[in-house]
């Protein structure tokens, strides 16, 4: 009986020990994925910002500018791309909608972002665009990879349609969560006008005919939870200018927008709570279960060897032998 128990424990030890690396290196890449139908939105605010009044073409101080960013998973498009990509793909149809203190639109820029559901690497396919312009992204956007590393990453900037390094600047604590802090600076760069302008009848083409150009710079900051790769907080010191041309009435430049854009408090609380929940799920696959199963396998192996050793311990009484029959003489 003791020998049978020892063999069963040995089999279980082998099973759990083998399951440990399978969870980490086989199951994790296949289970930890961004859902194709995910929908999320975030509201950012710029208090005491500077905004261009298109009626007078002069910059003025305003109490608040609001930016609403939405990301909606396009399941139909992702299914179509997966058939040729050979991997799980997520298609996000995004919209960045800016409105002034009066509630009127300042700008709206749609995007389509296509990426690998696990690694977050961009996947190039028909439909990838920013504001209707086809683009070929390199690097990440919106989200870092699972198990983010302490290093610089390449990050795509939608305004300039270019990819630039975003630098790891250290580990911090944000609202009780350990985060990696990243920062990226985009220098003054000439960028296209939005396809949808805030004034009726004005188009990017009509503005271009005046010789006026649009320029942009930003300092982009993210506080990223490294296990999930999700930013728990972000902000931008954002500036836009119109330069030259007859539209400015002889002036060299005028500020179109300037402000410190930050996440609204209720969205910070929601994001932190969601990331904490998702962090536990990822840790189950990468740490808790693999290490737990490995430890269990070692314990079961030790117990199996102990029972086997006890079964073979010297000094145990020998089993009774059957009495030999006495010889019979004639």
Per residue in 5-63, pLDDT tens?
A: 888 888 888 998 999 999 888 999 889 999 999 999 999 999 999 999 888 889 999 99
Lowest-confidence pick of 25-34, 110-119, 214-223? 25-34
Mean pLDDT of 72-83: 95
Question: Residue 299: what pLDDT?
Answer: 92
Q: What share of the chain in percent tops pLDDT 70? A: 94
Residue 238 pLDDT exceeds 70: yes
Average pLDDT over residues 96-123: 94
pLDDT the model gives residue 295: 93
Distance of CA 92 to the CA centre of its chain: 13
Percent of the chain with pLDDT over 90: 72
Per-residue CA distances from 251 to 54, 121, 150 (Å): 15, 44, 45
Rounded mean pLDDT, 111-129: 95
Q: How confident is the model at residue 330 (pLDDT cuts 50, 70, 90)?
A: very low
Span 122-133, pLDDT tens digits: 999 999 999 999
Query: What's the pLDDT score for residue 1?
Result: 63
> Largest alpha-carbon pair distance within the chain?
144
Local confidence band at 268 (pLDDT 50, 70, 90 cut-offs)? very high
Residue 237's nearest CA partner among 180, 169, 187 is 187
Decide: 78 and 89 in contact? Cβ < 8 Å: yes
Average pLDDT, the chain: 90
Average pLDDT over residues 160-170: 97
Task: Work out the pLDDT band at 318, boundaries 50, 70, 90.
Answer: low
**How much is the pLDDT for 319?**
53
In this model, does residue 316 exceed pLDDT 70? no
Helix (H) or strand (E) holding 42, with range, is strand 39-53
- Would you state the pLDDT for residue 91? 97
Picking from 204, 279, 278, 269, the residue whose alpha carbon sits closest to that of residue 242 is 204
The answer to whether 263 and 271 have CB atoms below 8 angstroms apart is yes
Say if residues 1 and 7 touch (Cβ distance below 8 Å). no
pLDDT band for 306, please (50, 70, 90 cuts): confident
Which pLDDT belongs to residue 321? 56
Lowest mean pLDDT among 141-155, 234-248, 303-317: 303-317
């Amino acid at each position: 009986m003791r020998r049978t128990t020892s063999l069963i424990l040995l089999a279980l030890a082998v099973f759990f020990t083998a399951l440990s690396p399978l969870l980490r290196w086989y199951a994790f890449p296949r289970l930890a994925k961004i859902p194709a139908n995910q929908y999320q939105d975030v509201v950012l605010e710029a208090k005491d910002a500077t905004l261009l009044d298109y009626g007078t073409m002069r910059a003025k101080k305003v109490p608040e500018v609001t930016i609403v960013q939405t990301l909606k998973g396009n399941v139909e498009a992702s299914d179509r791309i997966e058939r040729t990509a050979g991997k799980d793909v997520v298609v996000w149809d995004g919209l960045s909608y800016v409105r002034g203190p009066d509630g009127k639109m300042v700008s709206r820029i749609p995007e389509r972002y296509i990426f690998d559901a696990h690694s977050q690497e961009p996947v190039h396919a028909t439909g990838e665009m920013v504001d209707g312009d086809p683009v070929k992204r390199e690097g990440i956007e919106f989200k870092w990879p699972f198990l983010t590393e302490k290093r610089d990453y390449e990050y795509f900037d939608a305004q300039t349609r270019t990819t630039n390094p975003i630098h790891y600047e250290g580990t911090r604590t944000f609202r009780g969560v350990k985060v990696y802090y990243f920062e990226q600076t985009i220098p003054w760069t000439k960028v296209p006008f939005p396809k949808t302008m805030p004034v009726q009848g004005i188009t990017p083409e009509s503005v271009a005919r005046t010789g006026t150009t649009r320029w942009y710079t930003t300092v982009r900051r993210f506080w990223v939870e490294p296990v999930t790769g999700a930013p728990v907080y972000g902000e931008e010191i954002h500036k836009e200018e119109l330069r030259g041309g007859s539209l400015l009435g002889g002036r060299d430049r005028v500020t179109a927008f300037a402000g410190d854009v930050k996440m609204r408090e209720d969205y910070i609380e929601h994001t932190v709570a969601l990331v904490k929940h998702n962090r536990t799920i990822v840790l189950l696959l990468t740490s808790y279960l693999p290490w737990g199963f490995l430890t269990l396998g070692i314990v079961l192996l030790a117990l199996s060897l102990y029972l086997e050793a006890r079964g073979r311990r010297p000094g145990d009484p020998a089993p009774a032998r059957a009495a030999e029959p006495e010889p019979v003489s004639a």
